[in-house]
A and B are shown apart, each in its own frame.
Chain A
Amino acid sequence: MRTVDLIEKIVQVGLGLAVFAAVIGLILFLADKAPKKAKDVVQLVVFLAPAIILLAIGLIYPAIRTSILAFSNKAGDLIGLDNFAWIFTQPDAVRVVINTLIWVVCVPLISTIVGLSYAIFIDRSRGEKFFKALVFMPMAISFVGAGIIWRFLYDYRPAEREQIGLLNQIVIWLGGEPVKWLQTEPINTFLLIIVMIWIQTGFAMVVLSASIKGIPTEQVEAAQLDGTNAWQRFVNVTLPGIRSSIVVVVTTISIATLKVFDIVRTMTAGNFDTSVIANEMYTQAFRANEPGRGAALALVLFVLVLPIVIYNVRVLRKQKEIR
């Protein structure tokens, strides 16, 4: 870029900002000068308008539109509950729902148990920070990146060629034949689930570890003097002490799992019976040209997530009352 161009660009940016500031300034000035009676209302409108407009464009309109779409066919005619009937009757679609349920049971449960055990195991050990970083690291990797990494791990080459996938290489070392992991149903779904667990365990571990440290030492010592062994202390002191954190962790992971898309998309694209609701939503709406079915799937997903969110908020509020 030439210097002249650069200067020109900077001037343009500066000009743009100046115009923006002038417009905002004018609006605020006018709002301030509004007649006394209507002042509150005018100011309210001026300050709320940007947020409401953005919400309307980005959230409210799409939500209404999706709801209408969910009850429409390809041509845009309202067809009642047909799209939902398709989801819960067509074997392929039912499979998607079942897969999603498998995900949402396995991932939060295993991530939380593994994360919690790890947090307790390394608590107050030497090198705790290092061990924590080790498990937390996957949280920093995007789902797509994680999907690609693990696809290499599961990679298949015919037996006569050299394997690049770790899993198949191990199978060969053990004297077996390489397996097309990601195409073998039903194990492929569980192999994808492992990727999600790998990511979410770090989150569970960090949150629960912080929560464990929040339990007063004296409580643990009092329990020691009350004659408890390590397991009884865990059940009677640690677990009740971190209960609300566990709820937050489980619900947060559940919500993330229900919405999982990237991992499935990058690793199998939902083929070989591995699709989940979010992935199928995309496939139906943009690949199969069935926006109605996609929208219906989106609504189902929303209905599944909603109670978890409500429960989460209520637990948090209750916790606040106790404190």
Chain B
Amino acid sequence: MASVTFDKATRLYPGSTRPAVDALDLDVADGEFLVLVGPSGCGKSTSLRMLAGLEEINDGRVLIGDRDVTDVPPKDRDIAMVFQNYALYPHMTVAENMGFALKIAGVSKDERATRVLEAARLLDLEPYLGRKPKALSGGQRQRVAMGRAIVRQPQVFLMDEPLSNLDAKLRVQTRTQIASLQRRLGVTTVYVTHDQTEALTMGDRIAVLKDGVLQQVGTPRDLYAAPVNVFVAGFIGSPAMNLFDVDVVDGGLKFGTAVAKVDRETLGATKAKKVTIGVRPEDVKVATSGAGLPVNVDVVEELGADGYLYGHSEIDGKRVDIVVRVDGRNHPSAGDKVFITPEPDHIHAFDTETGLRLTKKAIEAK
């Protein structure tokens, strides 16, 4: 087991002017579960493949433990990877698939069998050891791919969207299994996903990437409570945070007909007349009359205990979409007009120009 360090690691694809991964600086502690998350094309998979050695590193270094592996071929890096499509060897049985790396490494037949059986027990794969991948379901194949990584007992696990080929229910189950398995084995893991829910639920820490540039690294709580910029604010959390521009007025922020009082710290040292604010759907108060931002309700999504109200409003003549969490039993219906005000202590404020957060203060959800 070992830590992983990206030291200004850069990947520039030939014929491209913009790096796919731009000077990535990232430390993954020994035994940590780090999730790389971002929209497609953000460079998260490329970063993982750089760590695996499947992608050339044009600039900077990558270290596993204290060892510089920048120019070490994949086979000598002592890492195991779970691919999105699992990449099982179709002509080998489950047991052969799982034991293949050990066979190559020259591990004796007996030990190989013991270790494969051990991993198979861990993953409920015992009855399937003699089967070929074609005779397995998607979830079983996924577990074989996991087993292949576990059997190796490598320094680092790499996982490239391992759940995206599973159906929704299985994905949620497997998510928990992988996370608990990783904690039990204690192997340093770098996990790539585009799904922020996966990131929040699984990771010890999350690294958010966009356009090849690292935006923020932190615990799920950090990212949720104190996103460093508008991108992270909008990306983490589901449904996404409401983000729109408002005027700064005396004593607070103009919010429709109301003024939301915010303390000076929230706005930092900004002198701007306008700021971009972010309010999570659960941090909004809804009233049928009174002061606030008028919102036309388009639709209300029923989720049992809660509901989400989707509506739109106009600020300075611009249409703004609004999402609000409402009570599941008692909520406005589509076509209604409601007035919303934010919880004053739960407003995230960002610079309109740069999109950067104005304050260091973290905002805890209620």
Which A residues have a C-beta under 8 Å from some C-beta of B? 216, 218-219, 221-229, 232, 236-237, 240-241, 243, 322
A216 with B85, Cβ < 8 A, contacts A221-B54, A224-B75 known: yes
Picked from B75, B85, B88, B91, the residue with its CB within 8 Å of the CB of A225 is: B75
**Residues on A with beta carbons closer than 8 Å to the beta carbon of B80:** 225
Known contacts: A236-B89, A240-B89, A240-B91. The answer to whether A222 contacts B83 by CB under 8 A is yes
The reply to whether A227 and B89 contact each other, CB–CB distance below 8 Å, is: no
Closest to A219 in B: B87
B83 lies within 8 A of A227 (CB): no
Since A226-B101, A322-B134 are in contact, a sample of 17 more A-B pairs with Cβ atoms closer than 8 Å, ordered by chain A residue number, is A216-B85, A218-B84, A218-B85, A219-B88, A221-B74, A221-B83, A222-B81, A223-B100, A224-B75, A225-B53, A225-B54, A225-B74, A225-B101, A226-B104, A226-B152, A227-B75, A240-B89
19 A-B pairs within 8 Å (CB atoms) are namely: A216-B87, A219-B89, A221-B52, A221-B81, A222-B83, A222-B148, A224-B73, A225-B74, A225-B80, A225-B81, A226-B101, A226-B104, A226-B152, A227-B105, A228-B75, A236-B89, A236-B100, A241-B90, A241-B91
Report yes or no: A224 in contact with B54, Cβ–Cβ below 8 A: yes
Chain B residues in 8 Å Cβ range of A218: 83-85, 87
A228 to B91 Cα, complex, angstroms: 17
Closest to B76 in A: A227
Q: Tell me the chain B residues, 127-151 only, with Cβ under 8 Å from chain A.
A: 134, 148
Interface residues of B in 214-262 (CB under 8 A from A): none
Question: Once bound together, how far apart are the Cα atoms of A180 and B87, in whole Å?
Answer: 57
In the docked arrangement, what's the CA distance between A237 and B100, Å? Answer: 11
Task: List residues of B (91-116) whose CB comes within 8 Å of A's CBs.
Answer: 91, 100-101, 104-105
Asked whether B100 lies within 8 Å of A226 as measured between CB atoms, the reply is: yes
Taking CB atoms, residues of chain A closer than 8 Å to B100 are: 223, 226, 236
**Chain B window 251-291, contacts with chain A (Cβ cutoff 8 Å), 1 for yes, 0 for no:** 00000000000000000000000000000000000000000
Q: Which residues of B contact A (CB under 8 A)?
A: 52-54, 73-77, 79-81, 83-85, 87-91, 100-101, 104-105, 134, 148, 152
On chain B, the residues within 8 Å of A216 by CB distance are: 85, 87
A222 near B87: Cβ-Cβ < 8 Å: yes
A-B pairs, top 4 by smallest CB distance, nearest first, are A218-B87, A226-B101, A240-B91, A222-B87
Kindly state the separation between the CA atoms of A237 and B91 in the bound complex, as whole angstroms: 9
Q: How far is the CB of B136 from chain A (nearest CB, A)?
A: 13
Collect the chain A residues with CB atoms within 8 Å of residue B152's CB. Answer: 226
Q: Contacts A224-B54, A225-B74 given; indicate if A232 touches B104 (C-beta within 8 A).
A: yes
Nearest to A222 among chain B residues (CB) is B87
Least CB distance, B62 to chain A, in whole angstroms: 15
B54, A237: Cβ atoms closer than 8 Å: no
Contacts of A227 in B (CB 8 A): 75-76, 101, 104-105
- Kindly list chain A residues whose C-beta atoms are within 8 Å of the C-beta of B89: 219, 222-223, 236-237, 240
Bound-complex Cα distance A227 to B73 (A): 9
Cβ contact within 8 Å between B52 and A225: yes
Q: Known contacts A227-B75, A229-B75, A322-B134; is A221 also within 8 Å of B87 by CB?
A: yes
A51 CB, min distance to chain B CBs, angstroms: 38
Question: Which residue on A lies nearest to B149, using beta carbons?
Answer: A225
Please name the residue on chain B nearest to A215 by beta carbon.
B90
- Contact between chains at A224 and B85 (CB < 8 Å): no
Q: Is the CB of B104 within 8 A of A224?
A: no
Q: B87 to chain A: which residues have CB within 8 Å?
A: 216, 218-219, 221-222
Q: Which residues of A contact B90 (CB under 8 A)?
A: 219, 240-241
What is the minimal beta-carbon distance from B187 to any residue of chain A, in angstroms?
15
Chain A residue numbers with a CB within 8 Å of B85 are: 216, 218
Give the docked Cα–Cα distance between A266 and B54 (Å): 53
State the Cβ distance, A318 to closest chain B Cβ, in Å: 13
Residue of B at shortest CB range from A240?
B91
Task: Determine if A228 and B83 form an interchain contact, defined as CB atoms under 8 angstroms apart.
Answer: no
Q: How many angstroms between the C-alpha atoms of A240 and B100 in the bound complex?
A: 14
Most chain B CB neighbours (cut-off 10 Å) among A224, A225, A226, A322 = A225
B103 to chain A, nearest CB (A): 9
A223 neighbours in B (Cβ, 8 Å): 89, 100
Which chain A residues lie closer than 8 Å to B73 at the CB level?
A: 224
**Chain A residue at smallest Cβ distance from B106:** A227
**B84, B101, B148: which has the most chain A beta carbons within 10 Å?**
B101
Q: List the B side residues contacting A236 at CB < 8 Å.
A: 89, 100
* B312 vs chain A, min Cβ distance (A): 44
The CA-CA distance from A219 to B86 in the complex, in Å, is 9
Please name all residues of chain A whose beta carbon is closer than 8 Å to the beta carbon of B84 when the two chains form the complex. Answer: 218
User: Cβ of A222: which chain B residues have Cβ within 8 Å of it?
Assistant: 81, 83, 87-89, 148
- Which chain A residues border B83 with CB–CB below 8 Å? 218, 221-222
* Cα(A240)–Cα(B93), bound, Å: 13
CB-CB < 8 A to B105: which residues of A? 227
Report the Cα distance A223→B148, complex, angstroms.
11
Most buried by A among B52, B77, B84, B89: B89
Q: In the assembled complex, which residues on chain A have CB atoms less than 8 Å from the CB atom of B74?
A: 221, 224-225
Q: How far is the CB of A193 from chain B (nearest CB, A)?
A: 33
Chain B residues contacting A229 (CB-CB under 8 Å) are: 75
A218 to B77, CA, bound (A): 17
Question: Which residues of the other chain, B, contact A243 by a CB distance below 8 angstroms?
Answer: 91
CB distance from A300 to the nearest CB of B (A): 37
